[in-house]
């Protein structure tokens, strides 16, 4: 079981209260987690990564275990602590204010 | 008694303002989608409790929301806007070719007859439609074949911001793009023609070019669909032949720069604009917020000032932020970048703020309910 924390606006959009808990089969990667997340919550398609290319949106970041995973390959294994549900994967709206 | 519902899109959410036919006391609900930019909301003429909203965010992209109860509750529907085929390139600001890239939906226009059919004008400029209530969207790609490789963005982006449906000819649609101009289809989007003859724009190399004009808004009275009115970057224009040619009707306006233009609900020759100082000074001349009305279809204009601030006012009124209701006397509404929504229940003779302190207003639409 993988835990995902979404930014407020996406929790509101998807009507999610608190963390999302996902079952991911096979290797736990960013791609696998986002595939599972979008399958459960179709309205999140296009909000975190582009519909067609699956490129991360410019102002979205992925953090876990105090690391920035935003630039890691989407097919790289997530940290064990995320894969086992000890730590959540944080999907974050980048700081872009003034 | 009738009800008037004013749909307000702002930089930080949507608001729904309702009143009875007297239009004196208003109920204000919102923000809906707080924190998101709501470029536009639109009700279906065929089913007025069906509403659509364009919700977007620099962080999380585009959403389309749909309501079946007049805006009390909403559900997200389809948000995938994929250009048809390989979209090719348009001109970038520096004249280099630039691939089309979807950014946001500027304007939604519901079919006059089917609540599940809705059009979306997007940036980078293209027209999409949905026939399943917004669940899926398909481009009408022939529009970009109308010299799309020559289109260039204006300062606000290369947006398709105006969609006008002809009630007497359901396959005829007018659209306007900044900064490409006006286009028309007579076959429901299979073919399109530029409709810019008579426009003169000094900001482009050939002032009379077939495309490249920065049209800000066009408006039509449904009883007379061959007559169109246009607020261009500069110049207020009129066409009496369904866009085949245009002539200037700026007349005695203090400045002919501005964004919105609209037509009285019952008088096809009564039109309204909000003059703005210039293309770089996006505020009213002399700090006086004045709506100008022409009862002669242009050229002769009168300032409407009663109830509007006549000193120290430096707000703007954006292209989609003015609308009329269908009551008698006709009501008129507009929103400002300062967050005020003003209403007039007497065709513009007098005004009062409905709300004063919203986020910057991007769009105003009105529904008149029996």
Dist. CA A57–CA A10, nearest whole Å: 13
Q: How many CB atoms sit inside 10 A of residue A1's CB?
A: 9
**Rounded mean pLDDT of B268-294?**
97
Residue A97: per-residue pLDDT: 62
Condensed to tens digits (0 to 9), the pLDDT of residues B62-106 reads 999 999 999 999 999 999 999 999 889 999 988 899 999 999 999
Give the gap in angstroms from C-alpha A93 to the nearest C-alpha of chain B: 6
Residue B249 has pLDDT above 60, yes or no: yes
Instruction: Find all residues with CB under 8 Å of B186, minimum gap 6, and list them.
Output: B169, B171, B172
Mutate to test the interface with B, among A16, A37, A46 (most CBs of B within 10 A): A46
ipTM > 0.90 for the complex: yes
Strands of B148-252, DSSP E: 159-165, 173-178, 181-185, 193-194, 215-220, 228-232, 236-239, 247-248
Residue with more model confidence, B255 or B86: B255
Contact B124, B101 (CB under 8 A): yes
**Rounded mean pLDDT of B135-146?**
97
**Rounded mean pLDDT of B225-236?**
98
**Residue B60 with chain A: CB contacts under 8 Å:** 7, 9-10, 13, 47-48, 57, 60, 93
Residue B239 has pLDDT above 60, yes or no: yes
**Residue B63 with chain A: CB contacts under 8 Å:** 13, 43, 47
Residue with token string 């204010």: A97
What residues does B271 pair with on adjacent strands? B263, B294
Q: Do A47 and B60 touch (CB under 8 A)?
A: yes
**Rounded mean pLDDT of B5-32?**
97
Enter the pTM of the model.
0.97
Residue B155: per-residue pLDDT: 84
Give the gap in angstroms from C-alpha A45 to the nearest C-alpha of chain B: 8
Dist. CA B54–CA B36, nearest whole Å: 10
Interface of A with B (CB under 8 A): 7-10, 13, 43, 45-48, 51-52, 57, 59-60, 93-94, 96
* CA nearest to B34 within chain A: A9
In DSSP notation, A33-78 reads: HHHHHHHH-GGGTTTSB-TTT-PBPTTEEEEETTEE-TTS-TTSBP
Residue A98 has pLDDT above 60, yes or no: no
* CA nearest to A53 within chain B: B82
By residue count, chain A amounts to 98
Q: Compare CB distances from B59 to A45, A51, A57 and report the shortest one's residue.
A: A57
Instruction: Find all residues with CB under 8 Å of A67, minimum gap 6, and list them.
Output: A79
Give the gap in angstroms from C-alpha B175 to the nearest C-alpha of chain A: 27
* CA nearest to B55 within chain A: A13
Residue B220 CA: distances (Å) to CA of B4, B151, B265, B266: 21, 25, 10, 12
Q: Do B57 and A9 touch (CB under 8 A)?
A: yes
Domains and CATH numbers, chain A: 2-93 (3.10.20.30)
pLDDT band at B156 (very low <50, low <70, confident <90, very high): confident
Average pLDDT over all residues of chain A: 95
In DSSP notation, B99-114 reads: E----EEEEEEE-SS-
Residue with token string 């808004």: B217
Condensed to tens digits (0 to 9), the pLDDT of residues B189-220 reads 999 999 999 999 998 889 999 999 999 999 99
Q: Do A45 and B80 touch (CB under 8 A)?
A: yes
């Amino acid at each position: 079981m993988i835990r995902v924390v979404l930014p407020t606006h996406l929790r509101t959009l998807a009507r999610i209260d608190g963390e999302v808990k996902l079952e991911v089969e096979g290797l736990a990667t960013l791609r696998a987690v986002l595939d599972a997340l979008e399958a459960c919550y179709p309205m999140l398609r296009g909000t975190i990564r582009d519909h067609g290319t699956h490129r991360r949106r410019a102002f979205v970041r992925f953090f876990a275990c105090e690391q920035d995973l935003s630039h890691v390959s989407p097919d790289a294994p997530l940290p064990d602590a995320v894969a086992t549900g000890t730590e959540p994967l944080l999907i974050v709206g980048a700081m872009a204010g003034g | 008694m009738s009800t008037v519902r004013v749909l307000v899109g702002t930089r930080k959410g949507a608001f729904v303002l309702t009143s009875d036919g007297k239009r004196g006391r208003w109920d204000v609900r919102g923000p809906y989608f707080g924190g998101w930019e709501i470029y536009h909301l639109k009700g279906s003429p065929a089913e007025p409790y069906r509403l659509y909203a364009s919700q977007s965010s620099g962080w999380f992209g585009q959403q389309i929301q749909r309501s079946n109860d007049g805006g009390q509750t909403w559900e997200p529907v389809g948000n995938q806007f994929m250009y048809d085929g390989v979209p090719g390139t348009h001109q970038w600001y520096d004249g280099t070719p630039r691939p089309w890239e979807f950014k946001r939906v500027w304007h939604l226009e519901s079919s006059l007859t089917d609540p599940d059919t809705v059009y979306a004008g997007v940036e980078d400029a293209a027209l999409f439609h949905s026939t399943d209530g917004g669940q899926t969207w398909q481009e009408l790609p022939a529009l970009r074949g109308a010299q799309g490789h020559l289109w260039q963005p204006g300062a606000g982006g290369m947006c398709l911001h105006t969609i006008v449906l002809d009630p007497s000819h359901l396959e005829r649609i007018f659209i306007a793009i900044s900064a490409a101009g006006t286009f028309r289809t007579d076959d429901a989007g299979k073919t399109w023609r530029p409709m810019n003859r008579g426009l003169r724009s000094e900001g482009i190399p050939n002032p009379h070019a077939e495309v490249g004009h920065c049209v800000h808004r066009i408006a039509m009275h449904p009883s007379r669909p061959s007559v169109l009115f246009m607020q261009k970057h500069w110049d207020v224009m009129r066409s009496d032949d369904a866009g085949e040619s245009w002539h200037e009707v700026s007349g005695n306006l203090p400045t002919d720069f501005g964004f919105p233009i609209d037509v009285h609900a019952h008088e096809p020759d009564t039109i309204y604009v909000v003059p703005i100082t210039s293309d770089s000074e996006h505020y009213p001349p002399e700090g006086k917020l004045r709506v100008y009305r022409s009862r002669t279809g242009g050229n002769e204009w009168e300032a409407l000032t009663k109830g509007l601030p006549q000193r120290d006012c430096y707000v703007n009124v954006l292209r989609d932020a003015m609308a009329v209701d269908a009551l008698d006397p006709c009501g008129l509404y507009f929103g400002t970048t300062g967050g005020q929504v003003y209403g007039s229940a007497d065709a513009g003779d007098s005004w009062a703020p409905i709300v004063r302190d919203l986020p910057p207003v991007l769009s105003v639409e009105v529904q008149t309910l029996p």
